[in-house]
Structure 1
Amino acid sequence: MMLDSGIIASQILLIFLCFAIPIGGFVYLSVRKKHVVKPFFIGMLVFFILQLVIRLPIIQIVLPQTAWFLSMSRNPWLYGLFMGGTAAIAEEFGRYIAVRFLLKKNRRYADGIAYGLGHGGIEAMLLIGVNNIANLIVLLDGQSFLAPVIAAQLSYAAVFTAIFERVCAMALQIGLSMLVFYSVRSKKLRYLVYALVIHTIVDAAIVILPGVFGLSVVWIEAVLFLAAAGLMIWTVKIRPVFINGEENL
């Protein structure tokens, strides 16, 4: 089986970025700001427990055995909002509880960035990085019956879309983390609501845009990019508020 060396190199780049961005960001913050270990690893832990241990097994194993879920899954509006809403509730309330009760002494600007890197990083490493490592091993070995199946799904467009999506997703997770950190610091719950709404919209778009409007993945990535870019702009804008200890925008 002939493999395109350029696509393989692109897949290696995707794997590298899934690990390098969160780990590199963590090392940088550790050197520059100190004491970011706790928020970074709590961010990882919250995502791992609430998504991988609790939510996803329920959605993938338990709910498909119920009639109401199967019926709802045929309606892209309801299914998209359900999937987006449950992801938002699990992650954003998890973030809020972590910041409110576990990070009482770790609510600096750098702590929020570290938390977002941990949260988005473990998502990238486990869901994208590890899966692509496994696929790459199968492809390079070439003996498994899965090799041609995986190879048929690979293209430059698919790999670079995945790279773009993962960078935006990590930026989104940092921005959502900063919203929740600011919500706790300022005692303004509306920022938690903002995080819930943004998260729901971004995740729901994955189902609703193609299922209802017949739009391609380009539009899904556009929604993700706009949300991530908007949150990054807000995150930069809010930095002086954190640094100076002010509580008003």
Structure 2
Amino acid sequence: MKAVGVSVLFMFITAFICILAPTLLAAVMVKKYKANWRALFLGAAAFTVAQPLLRLPLLKWLGYKAWFVLFSQSNTLLFLALLGLSAGIFEELSRFIALRFFLKKRLTWANGVVFGLGHGGAEALLLVGLNYVGLLYNFMSGRPINFLGQTPPYLFLVAGLERVMAISAHIGMTMLVLYAVKTKKLRYLFYAILFHALIDSPVVVLLSQRGQVWASEGYVAVFAAFALWLTVRFRAILAVKEGPV
């Protein structure tokens, strides 16, 4: 029973990370660094268009094609690598279009951070947050959750930790794309696509499938740390170009 209580606590923490934390951090950026709320909604829209509206329906449609299923089964590593690359292409191009056409006059470091919070926050909400809200609602309503007592409590917290790292990565990738738009140096867009493809590497999927949770999270943590370094670095770079942020 104690383990169930810890699991529920960790679910609350993860739900908070996925649903409220990005918006609260965006509010800090708006107040302290004069960021624009529009950046948050554009980031969320960029993810929604790239994934739920375009990429995922396309993958679902391809899933009915015999050649696609055969390829996925006979070339697992290549297939997973291409899936990661496709995520990078769809999301980074969507990010590029949103920044280029809808935030082009507000390409500041602070707005880049808020855009990344919106993009990563939308992903966290749709992939994890809503599921955890459903689980918590069922638990509080007295409905049975069969796997709750069988799942190690820490796994419910790992989901939140993973979202923290993913959001950090999205902020870093936003910096690369924002710089590509601002300087018209498209190679930075390709860097963002490559970064995205690497963080969605087959290594992560295979480690997760084999139950090596910490190895998988450690791999992602390396990229999250690099993304944080990029975010700090680009603050200085952008400040030089336009004055203090």
Q: Give the TM-score, by structure 1 length.
A: 0.89
2:171 aligned partner? 174
1:207 aligned partner? 205
1:36 aligned partner? 36
For 1:128 and 1:222, the matched residues in 2 are separated by 19
Provide structure 2 residue ranges, at least 5 long, that are not aligned to the other structure. none
Which 10-residue stretch deviates more, 184-193 or 105-114? 184-193
1:107 aligned partner? 107
For 2:136 and 2:200, the matched residues in 1 are separated by 27
Find out whether 1:241 has 2:237 as its counterpart.
Answer: yes
Which 10-residue stretch deviates more, 68-77 or 78-87? 68-77
Q: Aligned runs of 1:23-172 on 2, under 5 Å?
A: 23-59=23-59, 61-74=60-73, 75-143=75-143, 147-148=145-146, 150-152=147-149, 154-172=151-169
The 8 Å contact of residues 39 and 115 in structure 2, kept in 1 or not, is answered as: yes
Q: Among the aligned pairs, what percent are the same residue?
A: 34
For 2:211 and 2:13, the matched residues in 1 are separated by 28
Provide structure 1 residue ranges, at least 5 long, that are not aligned to the other structure. none
What amino acid sits opposite 1:131 in the alignment?
N
Question: 1:152: how far off?
Answer: 4.8
Per-residue displacement from partner, 1:147-167 (whole Å, max 9, x unpaired)? 21x315632231121121111
Secondary structure at the counterpart of residue 229 of structure 2: helix
For 1:192 and 1:22, the matched residues in 2 are separated by 24
What amino acid sits opposite 1:100 in the alignment?
R
2:17 aligned partner? 17
What amino acid sits opposite 2:14 in the alignment?
L
Instruction: Decide whether aligned partners of structure 1 residues 37 and 111 sit closer, same or farther in structure 2, where only a CA change above 3 A counts.
Output: same
For 1:106 and 1:48, the matched residues in 2 are separated by 21
2:217 aligned partner? 221
Per-residue displacement from partner, 1:67-122 (whole Å, max 9, x unpaired)? 12211222321221121011101100111111112211110001110100000011
Q: How many residues align?
A: 240
Question: 1:168: how far off?
Answer: 0.3
Question: 1:196: how far off?
Answer: 0.6
For 2:208 and 2:151, the matched residues in 1 are separated by 21
What amino acid sits opposite 2:139 in the alignment?
L
2:190 aligned partner? 193
For 1:57 and 1:156, the matched residues in 2 are separated by 33
Question: 1:21: how far off?
Answer: 2.0
The 8 Å contact of residues 39 and 112 in structure 1, kept in 2 or not, is answered as: yes
For 1:209 and 1:9, the matched residues in 2 are separated by 26
Question: 1:183: how far off?
Answer: 1.3
Instruction: Decide whether aligned partners of structure 1 residues 155 and 215 sit closer, same or farther in structure 2, where only a CA change above 3 A counts.
Output: closer
Which 10-residue stretch deviates more, 114-123 or 216-225? 216-225
